[in-house]
Structure 1
Amino acid sequence: MNTKRWIALVAAAVLLGISLVINSAFALFQTNLDTGLADIMAPAGSDYMEYVIEEGSMDERIAVLNVDGVIQDTGEASPLFGASGYNHSFFMDQLEQVKQDDTVKAIMLKVNSPGGGVVESAQIYDKIKEIQDETKKPIYVSMGAIAASGGYYIAAPAEKIFVNEETLTGSIGVIMESVNYGELAERYGVDFVTIKSGPYKDIMSPTRDMTDEERDLLQGMLNESYESFVDIVEEGRNMSEKEVKEFADGRIMSGRQAVEIGMADDFGFEEDVIANLKKDFDLGDAEVFEYGASEGWGSLLSMKVNSFFGNNMESQLLGKLFSDYNSPRMMYLYGEK
């Protein structure tokens, strides 16, 4: 790596420190600003701004909710490097908002996600079921380029699921991954010292091989989560366990295949899903809207940093080093973490 790259990395590290100071200094200002904007642009009782997609009656409305990115609770702060992506806390608040808002008569859930955390996916699923059971508000799903694993998990309880023919979906299953760099460390003379209270305290340690007993313990946990996933699909798609398990082996499939086996109902883009909601529930004059939040200083700084450094590999790796939490955990996830 040349001198210019080293300078860029050092500058990035310095900017990280500066960003923390800036975020702290402007925290109060941002809170007051966001509150003021919410008062001006949001309806009474709402903490979020609403953006109208289609004009219509404000007494009968269709809410559009977005799940875009990995379903993982990484905190509310936007990362310095890269886009802020999916915000779990913000999305859960939106679900509560549409539940409480009596003017919302139906919901379209847009899913463009490879899945994510087992816990976060279950939280979304439980909230969706709560909305359906307590308010009877219908939920239609519009799947984007990908709605796999946890992305399908949260879509399963919807009244109808719409896909594009080339949508990647399925991948029903659970995964847990870790990296073992013990042999590499030994080659370079690195010795890891571990003091633990029990034989399984460092299970999935990246510094040693896993034992058969440890593998059996973890496999049992994954099997339980897998069976829960299968149950979710059984209930949501009105299928038997045998029917679900014929394709619930982690395989990915296209939208065409999903419709053929009953995992999805029909083909359609977002506008088609909205049109079906209006037709099926007599909401022809309904306003269609989605929630949004004002961009904070952290997001603004993120864009500036990306503009300055571009998308070179060093900045991406540094961003991961600063933002990723790599402790192994169970995921409903298709593809790499």
Structure 2
Amino acid sequence: MFKNLSDFIKWLGDHFKGMLFLLILLIVFMPTSESKLKPANLQEIRLTGPIMDADKVLKEIDKAKKDNDIKGVLFNVNSPGGAVPPSIEICHAIKELKEKKPVIAYASGIMASGSYYASIYANKIIANPGSIVGSIGVIMEAPNLRELMEKVGVGTQVVKAGEYKEAGTPTREWTPKEREELERLTKDTYELFVSDVAKARGLDVNNSSAYADAHIFSSKRAKETGLIDEIATKSRAKEEITSLAKVKNPIWKEKDKLESFFEELSSKSILKLQSYFYGLKSTVF
């Protein structure tokens, strides 16, 4: 049909939009099984990739909380963490959800830093045998671009009010007072993190060096330190939430097909980037 590779590439480019449109139509109008006619009673909510914004996950949690048909939630986590405020937002949303219905947090890959913070108030935390858990710590960093800027011939002009207004600037080395201010902020955030983990997991805050200090644990060591409750696969996590929710005939909620298609496409791209960058970081440990 195609004389050479260039003809095939040209044909693919000319017909790609049409093929994509037909694929979307197929997904939207694909017949559903009879079981889907019954209302779902269990739901899986995923936290995937770096946490930079919590709106999407918070919306899903809120819907699950208000849906009387949903009796329990599996919170599936595969994230290296991220920004502090959205991680805390998800943490408290899960806490509020648990007051209405049981929640199992499942570490399907990485449950570290902010994503562990987000999971601490679940009824139970179950981790895949090969998962990575922990990294209870806080980091603040910025490059020092002064020498590079001098070589390029770029300077800065600053007008400020307040001694610490320029703290964290990347254009020069921080002053001792600025570093002290940033260290205080980092320490305050770290102490909040450790305090919340200790409270949620029933751990001794005075022994935080055993489970915090940004230690990165295998699932086995995470269980030994009390960060998780059980080591098992996803099927076991599903069994546990079914039991806690007292559901006899589990029917899992499915997302809209079109939304699910694009979300899956996006998630795979994010996870590929995540695995690449995490792989680079892991050589440091």
TM-score w.r.t. the length of structure 2 is: 0.76
C-alpha distance in structure 1 between counterparts of 2:247 and 2:259, whole Å: 32
Kindly indicate whether the alpha-carbon contact (under 8 Å) linking 2:102 and 2:244 is maintained by their aligned counterparts in 1.
Answer: no
Q: In the alignment, does 2:39 pair up with 1:64? A: no
How far apart are residue 59 of structure 1 and its match? 5.4
Q: In the alignment, does 2:94 pair up with 1:128? A: yes
C-alpha distance in structure 2 between counterparts of 1:90 and 1:71, whole Å: 11
C-alpha distance in structure 2 between counterparts of 1:266 and 1:199, whole Å: 49
Query: Could you tell me which of 92, 104, 107 is aligned with 2:70?
Result: 104
Kindly indicate whether the alpha-carbon contact (under 8 Å) linking 1:67 and 1:113 is maintained by their aligned counterparts in 2.
Answer: yes
C-alpha distance in structure 1 between counterparts of 2:95 and 2:135, whole Å: 22
Alignment-derived partner of residue 188 in structure 1: 152
Q: Relative to 1, partners in 2 of residues 1:55 and 1:237: Cα closer, same or farther, differing over 3 Å?
A: farther
Q: Relative to 1, partners in 2 of residues 1:186 and 1:60: Cα closer, same or farther, differing over 3 Å?
A: closer
How far apart are residue 262 of structure 1 and its match? 1.5
Kindly indicate whether the alpha-carbon contact (under 8 Å) linking 2:107 and 2:126 is maintained by their aligned counterparts in 1.
Answer: yes
RMSD of aligned C-alpha atoms? 3.2
Kindly indicate whether the alpha-carbon contact (under 8 Å) linking 2:51 and 2:82 is maintained by their aligned counterparts in 1.
Answer: yes
Kindly indicate whether the alpha-carbon contact (under 8 Å) linking 2:50 and 2:80 is maintained by their aligned counterparts in 1.
Answer: yes
Deviations 1:143-186 (A, max 9, x none): 02211001110111111111122211100011111111111111
C-alpha distance in structure 2 between counterparts of 1:56 and 1:194, whole Å: 62
C-alpha distance in structure 1 between counterparts of 2:250 and 2:159, whole Å: 62
Residue-pair matches, total: 243
Alignment-derived partner of residue 14 in structure 2: none
Query: Could you tell me which of 63, 81, 89 is aligned with 1:115?
Result: 81
Secondary structure of the corresponding residue to residue 153 of structure 1: helix
Kindly indicate whether the alpha-carbon contact (under 8 Å) linking 2:128 and 2:234 is maintained by their aligned counterparts in 1.
Answer: no
Kindly indicate whether the alpha-carbon contact (under 8 Å) linking 1:57 and 1:286 is maintained by their aligned counterparts in 2.
Answer: no
Alignment-derived partner of residue 264 in structure 1: 228
How far apart are residue 56 of structure 1 and its match? 7.8
Alignment-derived partner of residue 222 in structure 1: 186
* AA aligned opposite 2:187: N
Structure 1 stretches lacking a partner, 5+ long: 1-36, 42-50, 74-87, 317-333
C-alpha distance in structure 1 between counterparts of 2:37 and 2:139, whole Å: 45
C-alpha distance in structure 2 between counterparts of 1:289 and 1:197, whole Å: 54
C-alpha distance in structure 1 between counterparts of 2:242 and 2:59, whole Å: 25
How far apart are residue 221 of structure 1 and its match? 1.3
User: After the TM superposition, which parts of structure 1 deviate over 6 Å for at least 4 consecutive aligned residues?
Assistant: none
Structure 2 stretches lacking a partner, 5+ long: 1-27, 274-280
Kindly indicate whether the alpha-carbon contact (under 8 Å) linking 2:98 and 2:123 is maintained by their aligned counterparts in 1.
Answer: no
C-alpha distance in structure 2 between counterparts of 1:293 and 1:96, whole Å: 21
Q: Relative to 1, partners in 2 of residues 1:68 and 1:231: Cα closer, same or farther, differing over 3 Å?
A: same
Q: In the alignment, does 2:59 pair up with 1:93? A: yes
Deviations 1:205-231 (A, max 9, x none): 111110111111111111111111112
More helix by share: 2
Alignment-derived partner of residue 110 in structure 2: 146
If asked which structure has higher relative contact order (CA below 8 Å, sep 6+), I would say: 1
- Identity rate of aligned residues, in percent? 30
Q: In the alignment, does 2:128 pair up with 1:164? A: yes
TM-score w.r.t. the length of structure 1 is: 0.65
Kindly indicate whether the alpha-carbon contact (under 8 Å) linking 1:164 and 1:268 is maintained by their aligned counterparts in 2.
Answer: yes
How do residues 190-209 of structure 1 correspond to structure 2 at under 5 angstroms? 190-209=154-173
Alignment-derived partner of residue 234 in structure 1: 198
* AA aligned opposite 1:142: Y
Q: Relative to 1, partners in 2 of residues 1:267 and 1:56: Cα closer, same or farther, differing over 3 Å?
A: farther
* AA aligned opposite 1:230: V
C-alpha distance in structure 1 between counterparts of 2:153 and 2:248, whole Å: 70
Secondary structure of the corresponding residue to residue 253 of structure 2: strand
Kindly indicate whether the alpha-carbon contact (under 8 Å) linking 1:57 and 1:287 is maintained by their aligned counterparts in 2.
Answer: no
Deviations 1:97-139 (A, max 9, x none): 0010001110100000000110001111111112223x2x010
